[in-house]
Structure 1
Amino acid sequence: MGLVPPCFITEIVERDLREGKYAKLRTRFPPEPNGYLHIGHARSIVLNFGLAQDYGGECYLRMDDTNPETEKEEYARAIEEDVRWLGFVPDGVFYASDYFDRMYACALLLIEEGKAYVDDLPEEEMSALRAEGKPSPYRERSVEENLDLFQRMARGEFPTGSRVLRAKIDPAHPNFKLRDPVLYRIVHASHYHAGNRWVVYPMYDYAHPLEDFIEGISHSLCTLEFENNRAIYDWVIENVRGKCGFPEAPRPHQYEFARLDLTHTVLSKRKLIQLVEGGLVSGWDDPRLPTLRALRRRGVRPQAIVEFVRKTGISRNEARIPMDLLEEVIRDDLNPIAPRVLGVVDPLKVRLTNYEGEEWIEAPYWPRDIPKAGSRPLPFSGEIYIERTDFSLNPPKGWKRFAPGQRVRLRHAYVIELEDVVEEGGEVKLLKARVVPGTLGANPEDGMKPKGVIHWVSARHALPVEFRLYGRLFLTEDPEEGGEFLKNLNPEALVVKRGFLEPSVAQDPEDTRYQLERLGYFWRDPVDSRPSALVMNRIVPLKEGYRA
């Protein structure tokens, strides 16, 4: 099976190539550089680059930069970086703004053929007439007047928003998109890539088909929200074919697929901006966000994101995908590559009254079901830390961890039993326990019959760590539930704890992902972590119920 799972789009591609409609498959990923990519964009990236890979074609990365007021070089660079991080190498990196001369020439041609006109109506009046299916009073201007006005628009003689160029199709067309759509507007603003040369900028519906035609795209793949726009796409293509340097054939065709949507988060650029600019997250790479750079900082590997897209498939059916599935794919990706180590997120000290000195235990990195070799020396001493939630003074029925009268095994080490509890102000501050002699490395069936196995670290050797426990950004599957989405923010989407790690991790490469036994998958935060002040991000928790 290829990178793109079989779907209606692969059927179209195979048919077109089989029938010789195109000599070569050519696709494009065309983001607007007005923000950072999120996991929803990953579906389009994998689809477009994957098809090119699977069918021996080409895929371009194109900055669809036709709006100078919202686009930035920063975003363009970040987009290319994210695409390459996902593992895809563009066959070319292009900018829509590099085609402005040719787009302008095509607009002049449409005017000369009586297929476009300059409209002076204010936006509100134009919208009202379109809604009623009525023509603009400026619709019947002469070709000469339209040419003169449009050229003066391009020279900057009129203020921003004062005039537009519209296609002359049908003011009462049943498809609202074809009711004389706007092709160009005036914007007096510097463009991050094109500079100050232009003051007229093409609209998406006009620019996009021309970009595809210029680049020789065969299959222009868009999300379903652009389904009605296909009529404009085809109108533009049909009216420039064989003209302005374009061939009669082959021509690009647009096809639509359902976008990727996730529970417990938002993928709307407008809502993400609210979160960032409102200070509700620390920035575009805050690991609580669904942006690709946030997932990258959290520790998610690109392989997991690509596999998630493959697992969810390509179709025309809109559906919100459960966050559980993404987490499952991330765990499946990390499980075979993440060595098992010991750490304590919420520490409770245990003093072993019958143990003096220290020893080093050779502990394997991998469980028996993963056929990998490797171990590390694990220090053991008379004071250790265990997880606070692994102890209960009054355990519920079925409790399988530490408690009065209830032995537990320390992972890779001894069985211990409780002797005393030290409390202050009603809070447990210290446990006193004893090591059961002869139980180091013994089997659970050695007659000791401990209730469970818990993790620990040696207090004498432990590395202090700031643990950042990331969870779901919103409390509800649909953040819009109940109205204002910000009201559904999860106050525990980030919980910071001060804990400890076993010392072996200090020597590991910084990008090592670990499974902290019974806690989840973690790695060093690439921004804030330092050798002298470790910060560990939880990438994803273990499956519910696995910890016990």
Structure 2
Amino acid sequence: MSEEIKTTNFIHDIIDADLASGKRSEVVTRFPPEPNGYLHIGHAKAITLDFGTAEKYNGRCHLRFDDTNPEAEDIEYVNAIQADIKWLGFDWGEHLYWASNYFDTMYEYAVRLIKKGKAYVCELSSEAFKDYRGVPTRPGKEPPGRERSVEENLELFEKMKNGEFNDGACVLRARIDMTSPNLHLRDPAIYRIKRAHHHNTGDKWCIYPMYDFAHCIEDSIEGVTHSMCTMEFEVHRPLYDWILEELEVFQSRQYEFSKLNLTYIVLSKRRLLQLVNEGRVSGWDDPRMPTLCGMRRRGFTAEAIKKLCAIVGCTKFEGITEIEQFESIIRDDLNENSLRAMGVVDPIKVVIENYPDDLEEEFEVPNHPQKEECGVRKVPFSKELWVERTDYMDDAPNKFKGFTVGREVRLRSAYLVTCNEVVKDDEGNVVELRCTYDPETKGGSAPDGRKVRSTIHWLSAKHAIDAEVRLYDRLYTVENPLADKEKDFKDFINPKSLEVITAKLEPMLANVEPGVRYQFERVGYFCADLDHTPEKPVFNRTLTLRAPRKV
């Protein structure tokens, strides 16, 4: 059993008590996304809690699409949601459900409430509806029609179903308490008129249930024992309980936990959709997006995401987690599980003047320095090489571990070489290092035991491939883009969140599959992009090797 599933929390304590007392004999949870967007890192916490809890107690978790708002929903989102859940390592088996499959039952339940005198048709406009409802510090007013007879309400609701009213002309409301301090109990709307084609039910319905009415009924029909929601639904729980009690059906129970919040990230689906529609990002799977498909494309691992959720835990405390903690978890995972390769993102040429012009060699380089089982690969070597520009410095101090004139360095797994001369262009930029090598140091060590202070990664200029490398950084320049109410969150988009360069890579990287992750030695973690092909290699930078310093 995985670490995140073994982790206990206050909801698990409730479940333990329910099972021990006999209140519940099994554990049934559900993950109920609305298919109106892609899942993001915040949803990952709910997914791991819902599916992980069911797994811990040998129960089951349902995947249920809450498709009660057809105008905003799309089958594209349905497919993406299923793919993301499976990528995280969870499976709903045969328990895939749709809220729309219960529309007939929901309609019957609404009629049942009307017959009990617990629901009525209200013809107030949306503005008047809010006015009559009042505010938490002032009781609401009784709306017109609240005392209408059961027969009249049944007739009006039937006309709503038959399409005899315009959209927005009226709603069906639960009849509870217009003086309640909880606004959600002040006769909330439970059905509205909406002429919209539905992907599942077609044009059968022109009325659709509201979320608060539908959600608890869906839980009840499916026998959900522990329905877990985020904290904003805490004030909705009395309505959840009221509906099920009045309908006299299976009593599911709702429990609330805090959301996952991260610095430098905005998780509102509405705002994410803005970024996509306005072309601020390339799509929902842009590697700068906090969506699960975007993080997957960037190279984040499902294991790291689940570990973050386990560390944050399940509480009622609405805190915020620093992005640096998440990135540290990702680095640890990638360091452990990513194969190594050599890539040069800002190349300058090295010419080994005493190396034979026609000689080519291959050197064995470990695929992972701590894992012998990962084996070795052969990397070609020749007279002309590429190295990183940052590995050279004029008049370098002793602490600098790179090339400078007169210093001997090690080319990883190859030879010891000494820089003798530097070639610069008219603007003073270094374009070439002219060096000599010691043929007796093959493999990177000297037979006389002399030591060098630095080891440099390199690529044979003759064999290296050109690749498009996308250097991703944080999408926002501030920790909380929503904090300043005087500005739009898009004002804080980082103009340097994406830089596209051409880098030099090992030739074998041309043929890897999209999604394969590597550590480019001494550079960072990179992932072959979805656009990657042997003819046009494309890699995304997942993260630098170390966290950037805070300013």
CA shift digits 1:396-429 (9 cap, x unpaired): 6732222233332222222222222222231222
**How much has 1:372 moved relative to structure 2?**
2.8
Quick one: which of 58, 69, 86 aligns to 2:88?
86
3-state secondary structure, aligned to 1:340: strand
Give 1:490 shift. Answer: 1.4
Alpha-carbon spacing, 1:274–1:38, altered in 2? closer, same or farther (3 Å): same
Contact 1:111 1:147 in 2 (8 A): yes
Q: Secondary structure at 1:498's aligned position in 2?
A: strand
Provide the secondary structure at the position in 2 that maps to 1:197. coil
In structure 1, the residue matched to 2:489 is 485
Matches of 2:10 and 2:494, distance apart in 1: 38
Letter aligned with residue 467 of structure 1: V
Letter in 1 for 2:509: V
1:235 to 242, 264, 276: 242
Question: Residue 303 of structure 1 aligns with which residue?
Answer: 303
What secondary structure sits across from 2:36 in the alignment?
Answer: coil
Q: CA deviation at 1:435?
A: 1.7
User: Which whole-Å deviations, capped at 9, do the CAs of 1:155-194 have from their partners, x for residues lacking one?
Assistant: 0000111100111111110111111111111001111221
The aligned counterpart of 1:105 is 108
2:118 is aligned to 115
Deviations 1:342-388 (A, max 9, x none): 11111111111111222111111121x33535111111111100111
The structure 2 residue matched to 1:543, chosen from 541, 546, 549, is 546
Aligned residue runs from structure 1 range 311-326, under 5 A? 311-326=311-326
Deviation of 1:211 (Å): 0.4
Letter in structure 1 aligned against 2:322? P
2: distance between equivalents of 1:444 and 1:112? 93
- Give me the whole-angstrom Cα distance separating, in 1, the residues matched to 2:267 and 2:306: 18
For the residues of structure 2 that align with 1:300 and 1:2, how far apart are their CA atoms?
A: 18
Q: What is the distance in 2 between the residues matched to 1:320 and 1:444?
A: 52
**Is the counterpart of residue 471 in structure 1 residue 473 in structure 2?**
yes
User: Shift in Å at residue 437 of structure 1?
Assistant: 4.2
SS at match of 1:69: helix
Residues 298, 529 of structure 2: 8 Å contact kept: yes
Change (3 A) 1:545 1:276: closer
How many positions carry a matched residue from both structures? 537
5+ residue gaps, structure 2, are none
Equivalent position amino acid for 2:361 in 1: E
Which residue of the other structure, out of 503, 506, 512, is the alignment partner of 2:507? 503
Give TM-score, length-normalised by structure 2: 0.94
Per the alignment, residue 393 of structure 2 pairs with: 392
Counterpart secondary structure, 2:25: coil
Contact 1:4 1:47 in 2 (8 A): no
- Partner SS state of residue 209, structure 1: helix
Q: What whole-Å deviation, never above 9, does each CA across 1:21-60 have from its counterpart, x for those lacking one?
A: 1221000000111111111100111101111111010100
- Which amino acid in the other structure matches residue 499 of structure 1? A
Q: Does residue 523 of structure 1 match 2:527?
A: yes
Q: Is the 8 A contact 1:381 1:460 kept in 2?
A: yes
| CA positional deviation for 1:446 | 6.0
Q: Secondary structure at the match of 1:288?
A: coil
Moved more, 169-178 or 414-423: 414-423
- DSSP 3-state at the match of 1:438: helix
1:254 equivalent in structure 2: 254
Partner of 1:401: 402
Post-superposition shift, 1:10?
Answer: 0.9
Paired position in structure 1 for 2:25: 23
Tell whether 2:49 aligns with 1:47.
Answer: yes
Moved more, 465-474 or 395-404: 395-404
Aligned to 1:438: 440
Moved more, 298-307 or 178-187: 298-307
Question: Which of 107-116 and 394-403 deviates more?
Answer: 394-403
- 1:213-232 alpha-carbon deviations (Å, 9 max, x no partner): 00000000000010100011
Aligned residue for 2:518? 514
2:145 to 138, 142, 160: 138
1:280 matches 2:287? no
Q: Please, which moves more after superposition, 534-543 or 40-49?
A: 534-543
Q: Equivalents in 2 of 1:51, 1:313: separation in Å?
A: 13
Whether the aligned pair in 1 keeps the contact of 2:4 and 2:309 (CA below 8 Å) is no
Q: 1:396 to 1:100 in 2, by over 3 A?
A: farther
Deviates further, 490-499 or 435-444 = 435-444
In 2, the alpha carbon distance for the partners of 1:303 and 1:410 equals 34
Secondary structure of 2:113's counterpart equals helix
Paired letter, 1:379: P
Counterpart residue identity of residue 120, structure 2: Y
Letter in 2 for 1:432: R
SS at match of 1:474: coil
- Please list every run of 5 or more consecutive structure 1 residues that lacks an aligned counterpart in the other structure: none
Deviations 1:492-545 (A, max 9, x none): 22121111111233455554321110111222112x111111001122221248
Instruction: Give the 3 Å change call, closer, same or farther, for CA 240–359 of structure 1 in structure 2.
Output: same
Task: Indicate the residue corresponding to 1:167 in structure 2.
Answer: 174
State the Cα distance separating 1:16 from its structure 2 match. Answer: 0.8
Counterparts in 2 of 1:509 and 1:270: CA distance versus 1, 3 Å:
closer
Q: CA RMSD in A?
A: 1.9
Is this contact kept in 1: 2:349–2:384, CA < 8 A?
yes
Alpha carbons of structure 1 residues 442 and 459: separation in structure 2 relative to 1, 3 Å: closer
Between 392-401 and 33-42, the greater mean CA deviation after superposition: 392-401
Q: Which residue of 1 aligns with 2:423?
A: 422
Whichever residue aligns with residue 454 of structure 1, its letter is I
Alpha-carbon distance in structure 2 between the residues aligned to 1:225 and 1:99: 25
Aligned equivalents of 1:475, 1:445: Cα separation in 2? 51
Structure 2 counterpart SS, 1:84: helix
TM-score, normalising length: structure 1: 0.94
Give SS of 2:91's match.
coil
CA contact under 8 A between 2:412 and 2:444: conserved in structure 1? Answer: no
Q: Deviations over 1:403-462 (max 9, x none)?
A: 233332222222222222222231222221222443333448965443322211110111
Distance 1:282-1:445 versus aligned 2 partners, 3 A rule: farther
Amino acid at match of 2:203: N
Change (3 A) 1:122 1:545: closer
